[in-house]
Amino acid sequence: MNHKQRLIIALIMLISAPLRLSGQDDISGLDIMRNVYTRPTGSDQQGRLTMSLTNSRGSRRVRKIEQFIKDTGQEEKKIMFFISPADVRNTSFMNWSYGEAGRDDDQWIYLPALKRIKRISSESKSDYFMGSDFTYDDLGERHPSEDTHTLLREETLDGEDCYIVESIPREDGYMYSRTVSWVIKDKWIGLKKEFYDEEGELLKVLRVLKQEKINGYWIITHTRMHNIQKDHTTEIRLENLIVDAGIPDSRFTERMMKRGL
Amino acid sequence: MNNVYFRLLRYPRLVLAVTLLLSVLFFLVLKKNTRMETDLDEYMPQHHPAFVYSNQAEEWFNIKDGILIAVENADGIYNPVTLQKVIDLTRALQKMDEIKKEDVTSLYTMDNIVGTESGLDVKSFFRQVPRSDDDLTALRASVRANEMVYGRLVNPDETVTVIVAEIEDDSFSQAFYNRLLDLAGSYESPEKIYVAGRPIVEGTMALLGPRDMRRMVPIVIAVIIFVLLLVQRSIKAGLFTLLVVLLSVIWAFGLMAGAGIPVYAVSTMIPVMLIAIGVADGIHLISHLRLFLLENPETDKKTAVFDMVKEMWKPVVFTSVTTAVGFISLVTSEVYPIKYFGLFTAFGVMAAMAFSLLVIPSGLLVFGLPRWKNTGNIEKSYENRLLNTIALRVLRHQYSTLFITAVIIAAAVFGTTKVWINSSFLDKFEKTSDIVLTDAFINNHFGGTSMLNVILEAETVDAFKQPRILRAMDRMQTDVVGSLPVAGNSFALSDYLKRMNKVMHADSAVYNVIPDTRELVAQYLLLYEMSGDPENLWKVVDTDYQKANVTFQLKSDNSMAMNHVIEQIEEHKPALKELGVTVNYAGSGYKGLVFTDLILEGQIKSLFMSLILVVILLSLMFNKIAAGLIGAVPITITALISFGVMGLLNIPLSTTTALLSSIAIGIGIDYAVHFIQHYKTVAAETGDRHLAGQKTMQHSGRAIAFNAIVLIAGFLVLLASVFPPNRDLGALVSMNMFTSFLGTVTIMYLLLTVSNIFIRKNPR
């Protein structure tokens, strides 16, 4: 390394050091949540989902589901087949959600015992997914523009440096009055999230228990949602994950729902 | 023992001072530590299997008592104003501390499971108030089409809709009820708002009964003082007699407070008992004193007082011990408040005995004898002539007396067979009270305000996904609701499945049945979980589908209604048993039923036990089994007449009225003991049974008559009570006094004379 090169490096460091420092300090809540939202997760995903529901009395119910998800950027299509319990085996559920603002999801369910596909109206009362503690919104990614974000502080959680961001919905009457997210720096993965109900009281706590790097993407594979008020817990585990396998559009049709696995 | 007692009386001032000092101490303890127990659960025998099970089931299915708020609009509820009130009331109830948000059910919060052309939907009936006629018509149509709501939340006339708010255990208070009424009131007109439900009835009763007692007892005491003064004709004597009762009440409650035992609703009856029983000792003592002074006008006070205690201490001790034993037998009850009631009343009775023997003579020694103006001949007094007439007639018409007694006993026994037990809380209120009218209104329009939970338990997991088991459950529901008018409605897992099956088959009524396969059941349930609120399911089935909760709505909370429903359910037990399903019951209505049965069982058991104990004690006291048997006659007759009259007048046996039997025994036995004791003394002196009878009639008979008059007058005051059970109590206690008195001076007198006991053979 010659003198000139060394000078250039020193200069770059001189210029960039304060930039980087101020960059760290200046990153806004919105920036963080945008980074989380845009973190690449692949265009499709296939895997075994195990959902355990535990109520306040400690009684546990387990469901195993094979799921396929494809994100075209415009829309997200999802199809799920129940594997167990046995009496609901091959019951399938399909959900199409659209990027366009204001357009409701389309949902179908196939009941093999009835041999019929039925549409579930998306104005359904419950926003909760299959009796779990996750709402459809919790499972999907909420667009950062729907909330006002504030970076509250930084702290270490589970050995990871995190930003703590508070998000307050812009729309009136949303199911949460605010949420607080712990986001791992650089990875842009949420590690923990608190949900506050309309009265401002803590309703649920989401913990990400495991993230794996699959095919170069950080994928969350084990989460636990605890509804504090009802003392009800849902754990979701993803196994045998295949990312970017190139699932064809034809996977997401009523014909496939009926055919089963 | 005797010597100690008489020596004590040589220091009357010391006795008075010590007694008052101790009483002040007890009073301070009482003031400092007394607390009312208002938590009804504390009254229940929580270890009893039925309670253990019910409490467990209540936890499994989150069974709570519901408050019903009915909104009535005579022109129909489907208009924006009334519907807005339903929303506002629902929200206001959800915000109350005693109510959890998710425990409020109304047309606004209710899930509407509907079939659409392409599938199924679970949604609200409305989120905002429908304003246009079209929207209102659509709402009306969707309610009519939903058998889970129509007739349950909206009456068939569509003029009333009901909001159900389940409240947290033990959170009912008068303040909460007042807030509810204020809330309801603020939404009135043109709508009418009604508030009803078991927590209200139960809570109001727990507050009203004791409060009414607290108001009435001072008046009872005032009347007793007044009549006492009239019959004793001396302020001093009357005050001493009453002081005994008041001190015994203070000691009983002081000890209770000192032992850290709270005052239960039933404990408010202790003063009533002690008043009824405690004045007797004083009356007999003073009556004896007065007779002694009449016969020996020149004696000094010391001689008179010592004669009084010498002659009377035995009957006073005997009567008090027998009475206390009667109350102690209540300790066998499984219900703690009743146990304590028996224990502390017994203590109070013994305390009253001690005060009668210590405070009255000491008081007389210190403050001097009463100065009776009327020193005229006692034989000419009215009561004496009456008693003599009775005595003469009874002996002259022995067979008529026996015959009349037999007839009365027969009638009483017949009446007793008609006695029925009632655990109803509602029946304790005035028929015209708001609480009864509101309840009747809701019962007229809906399934019923009282709930019975039937808990089905299967041997295996997922049993309640099996169509044959679900069909058996459905058959039971249909049968009970169809055959018993008092069972207005039922609600269970079967209702969800039938509704979903119907909706998934284009709303065809043919499919309003349990699905055919286990798979279809499971898939419907999964579908419901995905579209509705699964929490609703866990109120009718557990997450393993091994236990189910069938709720019956009853139009009455009385025991007969509930027992009928249970009998009808029991008929389905064998069929369910074959499917491996057991049947049990739960809920506060059922617990109330078990509770009442327990109390009554205990009281009746203790009644028999104390009768036997009394016979034994009397036999020991008088050294003769015949005396024991004869002494038990008036109380047996009194108890029989008490129950007989209840049966004939259709007064149900309840926890209050059953307590009367204890009073009947406690007082009846006093009369008998005083009478027999005096008869025995005179018989030993004279050896002439007729003379003994006559003298006893003048002495004890007179005191008994005074006693009866004082207490009847006092207890008749309770007839003015606003709380019907307290009125029954007043009437029945008065009647018991009268029959005890009459039984003692007639049939017992007759038996005593005829049997010739206490008369030495060949005295001459």
Strand partners for B115: B120
How large is the average pLDDT for residues B152-167? 90
Q: How would you class A244 by CB atoms within 10 Å of its CB: exposed for 0-12, middle for 13-18, buried for 19 or more?
A: middle
| pLDDT tens, position by position, B57-82 | 988 888 888 888 999 999 999 999 99
| pLDDT tens, position by position, B208-239 | 777 777 788 788 888 888 888 888 888 888 88
Helix (H, G, I), strand (E, B) or coil at B528: helix
Q: How would you class B663 by CB atoms within 10 Å of its CB: exposed for 0-12, middle for 13-18, buried for 19 or more?
A: buried
- For B579, the enclosing helix (H) or strand (E) is none
Label residue A203 by pLDDT band (50, 70, 90).
very high
**Cα A176 to Cα A28, B182, B433, distances in angstroms:** 22, 31, 45
Given a contact cutoff of 8 angstroms between Cβ atoms, the answer to whether A104 and A122 are in contact is yes
- How do strand B450-458 and strand B119-124 relate by DSSP bridges? unpaired
A109:B124 CB<8 A:
no
A18 pLDDT exceeds 50?
no
pTM: 0.79
Label residue B268 by pLDDT band (50, 70, 90).
confident
Does B51-203 match B2-33+204-417+593-755 at the fold level? Answer: no
Distance of CA B71 to the CA centre of its chain: 33
Nearest to B519 among A57, A87, A108 (CB): A87
Residue B597 touches chain A, beta carbons under 8 Å: no
Tell me the HSE value of B284 on the side-chain side, using a 13 A CA sphere.
34
From B489, B505, B498, select the one nearest B467 (Cα to Cα). B498
Structure tokens at B763: 């005295």
CB atoms < 10 A from the CB of B9, how many? 17
Q: What is the mean pLDDT of chain A?
A: 84
Nearest to A121 among B59, B116, B535 (CB): B116
CB atoms < 10 A from the CB of A249, how many? 9
Tell me the C-alpha distance between B642 and B213, whole Å: 22
How large is the average pLDDT for residues B147-163? 89
Tell me the C-alpha distance between B693 and B396, whole Å: 13
- How do strand B66-72 and strand B192-196 relate by DSSP bridges? antiparallel
Helix (H, G, I), strand (E, B) or coil at B220: helix
A20 pLDDT exceeds 50?
no
Segment among A18-22, A62-66, B128-132, B413-417 with least mean pLDDT: A18-22
B134 pLDDT exceeds 70?
yes
Tell me the C-alpha distance between B80 and B126, whole Å: 11
Place of tokens 């995905």: B530
Rg (CA), chain A: 21
A111:B123 CB<8 A:
no
3-state secondary structure A125-173: CCCECCCCCCEHHHHCCCCHHHEEEEEEEEEEECCEEEEEEEEEECCCC
| pLDDT tens, position by position, A34-48 | 888 888 888 899 999
B171 pLDDT exceeds 80?
no
- Domains, chain A, ordered by start: 29-259 (2.50.20.10)
Q: Tell me how many degrees the CA angle A52-A56-A62 measures, rounded to the nearest 5.
A: 15
- For B556, the enclosing helix (H) or strand (E) is none
3-state secondary structure B657-726: HHHHHHHHHHHHHHHHHHHHHHHHHHHHHHCCHHHHHHHHHHHHHHHHHHHHHHHHHHHHHHHHCCCHHH
Domain covering B2-33+204-417+593-755 assigned CATH 1.10.1740.10 in the classification: no
Tell me the C-alpha distance between B487 and B451, whole Å: 9
User: Which chain B residue is nearest to residue A85, measuring alpha carbons?
Assistant: B522
A52 pLDDT exceeds 90?
yes
Tell me the C-alpha distance between A17 and B505, whole Å: 70
Q: Which residues on chain B are in Cβ contact (under 8 Å) with A116?
A: 504
pLDDT of residue A90: 92
- For B351, the enclosing helix (H) or strand (E) is helix B336-367
Nearest to B122 among A57, A85, A125 (CB): A125
Label residue A205 by pLDDT band (50, 70, 90).
very high
Tell me the C-alpha distance between A194 and A226, whole Å: 10
Nearest to B543 among A55, A113, A130 (CB): A55
Domain ranges, ordered by start, for chain B: 2-33+204-417+593-755, 51-203
Strand partners for A239: A48
**Cα B172 to Cα A124, B98, B178, distances in angstroms:** 35, 8, 10
Supply the DSSP symbol for B263: B
Tell me the C-alpha distance between B153 and B446, whole Å: 8
Tell me the C-alpha distance between A74 and A99, whole Å: 5
- How do strand B192-196 and strand B450-458 relate by DSSP bridges? unpaired
A123:B544 CB<8 A:
no
3-state secondary structure chain A: CCHHHHHHHHHHHHHHHHHHHHHHHHCCHHHHHHHHHHCCCCCEEEEEEEEEEECCCCCEEEEEEEEEEEECCCEEEEEEEEEECHHHCCCEEEEEEECCCCCCCEEEEEECCCCEEEEECCCCCCCECCCCCCEHHHHCCCCHHHEEEEEEEEEEECCEEEEEEEEEECCCCCCCCEEEEEEECCCCEEEEEEEECCCCCEEEEEEEEEEEEECCEEEEEEEEEEECCCCEEEEEEEEEEEECCCCCHHHCCHHHHHHCC
Residue B55 touches chain A, beta carbons under 8 Å: no
Helix (H, G, I), strand (E, B) or coil at B547: strand
Q: How would you class B619 by CB atoms within 10 Å of its CB: exposed for 0-12, middle for 13-18, buried for 19 or more?
A: middle
Tell me the C-alpha distance between B339 and B320, whole Å: 19
3-state secondary structure B321-344: HHHHHHHHHHHHCCCHHHHHHHHH
Most confident of A127-131, B335-339, B512-516, B760-764: B512-516
Among B530, B537, B539, most A C-beta atoms within 10 A, so best to mutate, is B530
| pLDDT tens, position by position, B535-546 | 788 889 998 899
Backbone angles phi, psi at A81, to 5 degrees: -120, 130
How large is the average pLDDT for residues A51-67? 89
Nearest to A119 among B119, B124, B465 (CB): B119
| pLDDT tens, position by position, A21-33 | 444 557 888 889 9
B662 pLDDT exceeds 80?
no
Residue B119 touches chain A, beta carbons under 8 Å: yes
CA–CA min distance A98, chain B (Å): 20
Q: Which residues on chain B are in Cβ contact (under 8 Å) with A126?
A: 122, 530-534
Tell me the C-alpha distance between A224 and A219, whole Å: 15
A59:B504 CB<8 A:
no
Tell me the C-alpha distance between B145 and B112, whole Å: 10
B533:A125 CB<8 A:
yes
Tell me the C-alpha distance between B696 and B487, whole Å: 60
B128 pLDDT exceeds 60?
yes
Given a contact cutoff of 8 angstroms between Cβ atoms, the answer to whether B43 and B335 are in contact is yes
Nearest to A87 among B59, B465, B527 (CB): B465
Tell me the C-alpha distance between B675 and A176, whole Å: 81
A123:B123 CB<8 A:
yes
CA dihedral B497, B503, B507, B510 (to 10 degrees): -30
Among B58, B464, B517, B527, most A C-beta atoms within 10 A, so best to mutate, is B527
The crossing angle, in degrees rounded to 10, of helices B235-258 and B336-367 is 140
CB under 8 Å to A150, separation ≥6 — which residues?
A29, A165, A166, A167, A168
The crossing angle, in degrees rounded to 10, of helices B270-295 and B198-232 is 10
ipTM (interface predicted TM)? 0.81
Place of tokens 């709570």: B64
| pLDDT tens, position by position, A133-171 | 888 777 777 788 888 999 999 999 888 899 999 999 988
B542:A59 CB<8 A:
yes
Given a contact cutoff of 8 angstroms between Cβ atoms, the answer to whether A236 and A50 are in contact is yes
Q: What is the mean pLDDT of chain B?
A: 86
CA–CA min distance A202, chain B (Å): 15
Q: Which residues on chain B are in Cβ contact (under 8 Å) with A131?
A: 529-530, 534
* Phi and psi based region of residue B623 (left: phi greater than 0; alpha: psi -120 to 50; beta: remaining): left
Domain covering B51-203 assigned CATH 3.30.70 in the classification: yes
Given a contact cutoff of 8 angstroms between Cβ atoms, the answer to whether B666 and B327 are in contact is yes
CB atoms < 10 A from the CB of A21, how many? 10
B526:A91 CB<8 A:
yes
Tell me the C-alpha distance between B455 and B458, whole Å: 10
Nearest to A59 among B124, B518, B544 (CB): B544
Tell me the C-alpha distance between B420 and B593, whole Å: 13
Among B109, B114, B514, B543, most A C-beta atoms within 10 A, so best to mutate, is B543
Which residue type, as a one-letter code, is found at position B634? P
Supply the DSSP symbol for B764: -
